[in-house]
Amino acid sequence: MGARYWAAVLGLPVLLAAAPAWGRFTPPPSKPQPLWEAGVAGGVASVAKYAGSSERHLYFAGFPYLIYRGPWLRITGRSAHLMLVEAPRYWLDLSGGGWLPVNAGNDAARLGMPDLDVTLQAGPRINYLAASTARSDTVLRLAVRAVWSAAAPNDISHRGYIMEPAVRVAIRPLGRKGRLSVGATLSALLGDSEHNAYFYDVSPRFATPDRPAYKSGAGLVSYALGLSAGWKLTENLQFGVSAQVRTLVGTVVGDSPLVEDDRSYTVGAGLNWIFWKSERTMVLPAPAEE
């Protein structure tokens, strides 16, 4: 494994160790918020079929929108987390993610190979609030997750493990009471050999003159920079946009024949309307919402 791999593995723990000297402060008190909020949301997104694919999907969706701020369960409208340990500057949660399926018959690079099933991820994530002011929060994160693919509810296969160190900065240009929020997340994705093989290896039986056999091994898969912005048009209506650029340049899978484009991007926009709120309120000790 190369120096970049070990730098990505060790980088965030080193930052976590140094963070107490970096940010000696008391986080500002949080204001009471509704225990839950419910509404509807809709949006559009353009995403690559998988990181490294030159082919894309365009999705339009409308769905119920829920925010829940319980002592253990947090639902933010876009994600859900189970809180295990929580303090004003440290918290440990269980988080997840996943990737949509890819039909190999409709993908030029994977033609004749097995489909990529829906993938699901779940595992612990440690978070550290390194800095917090009225206008910004800086959070360091390290997630370790197991990965599964699901061809059907009764056909689930383990696909290895991933590690994702990240730094997220949330900015409120108009202060905590302002209607505008901006976020930036810089992250790296590392996978073991089983995970990387599922997405990027080509076994000899599927090799062709234009797609030679390939074996990736464990290590750094990609770097990503994500940007987002949200604007509260009214107290209950919010518009948001997001974009992410991911690169596989110089990684252990960058030379795979299944990587057609070593830089990929995701863009999206959405609108959510909250029409029902709990009268009961909750004060969260950490800015864990995303």
3-state secondary structure of 66: strand
Residue 230 confidence (pLDDT): 94
Q: What averages of pLDDT result for each successive group of 10 residues across the chain (290 residues)?
A: 46 48 59 91 94 91 91 84 87 89 91 94 94 88 96 92 95 84 95 96 95 95 95 94 95 95 94 94 67
Residue 152 confidence (pLDDT): 87
Residue 28 confidence (pLDDT): 65
Residue 13 confidence (pLDDT): 47
DSSP one-letter string for 108-170 = GGGTTSPPBPEEEEEEEEEEEEEEE-SSEEEEEEEEEEEEEEEEETTEEEEEEEEEEEEEEEE
Number of C-beta neighbours around residue 185 at 10 A: 19
Quote the pTM value.
0.85
Residue 24 confidence (pLDDT): 58
Domains of the chain, first to last:
3-282 (2.40.230)
Residue 286 confidence (pLDDT): 55
User: In whole angstroms, what is the distance from residue 101 CA to residue 108 CA?
Assistant: 15
Is 211:202 a contact under the CB 8 Å cutoff? yes
